[in-house]
Structure 1
Amino acid sequence: MKATWNGEVIAESDETVVVEGNHYFPPSSIKKEFFKETDTHTVCPWKGTASYYSLEVNGEENKDAAWYYPETSELAKNIKGYVAFWNGVKVEG
């Protein structure tokens, strides 16, 4: 699977995990130079508290376009630290 935004591949992996229709990419598969930690957090009742990244690609920012769970509930431990995308990021195989 490949995640792209603003003309750049920002993550690529053959080992994504699909949860609720979202592909979660292993932390080692993201191109960290495009990711910037934000102060945004949301809570999922069964996965835990998500943290967010903004993407900075080719001089443009996509705020909170990626999220991950630094800590998860027991039910979601298979995606701990994995990164998923939304807000215009194209994920395709």
Structure 2
Amino acid sequence: MWQGAVLADSADLVARDGVVYFPPDAVDWRYLQRSAKRTWCPWKGRARYYTVAVGDAVGRDAAWTYPRPWPWSGGLRGRVAFGPPIMIDVPPPAGMKPRPA
């Protein structure tokens, strides 16, 4: 959730390098606008970025996906990740207790 909008919701998550990736059908694409930014990762491939806009709040290039990742990237094809300023709240796995504050 960001700025009161649920950007993505799914239990089918993939985590890589501290980043959580959502399946594309779990993303509310109304809030994402394709940006011109592209980056290259030698382990995952070329990333395509999206600007996230909710009302007047804009997170420039705050979401990305790997449309055609390398085969060894572990199932990232088409999945969407979110970065700053968007924080992902993922509950701990079943049976795991959260750390005390």
In structure 2, runs of 5+ residues without a counterpart are 91-101
Quote the residue 2:18 is aligned against.
21
- Give the alignment's TM-score, normalised by structure 2: 0.85
- Give the alignment's TM-score, normalised by structure 1: 0.91
Q: Deviating runs (4+, > 2 A) in structure 1?
A: none
Aligned residue among 7, 11, 29 for 1:10? 7
Partner Cα distance (1:72, 1:62) in 2: 24
Greater share of strand: 1
Aligned with 2:25: secondary structure?
A: helix
Corresponding letter in the other structure for 1:7: G
Computed over aligned residues only, the root mean square deviation of the Cα atoms, in angstroms, reads 1.0
Larger Rg: 2
Corresponding letter in the other structure for 2:72: L
Relative contact order, CA 8 A, sep 6+: which one is greater?
Answer: 1
Corresponding letter in the other structure for 1:53: Y
Quote the residue 1:68 is aligned against.
65
Corresponding letter in the other structure for 1:66: A
Question: Identity percentage over the alignment?
Answer: 34
Partner Cα distance (2:68, 2:16) in 1: 16
Corresponding letter in the other structure for 2:51: S
Aligned with 2:43: secondary structure?
A: coil
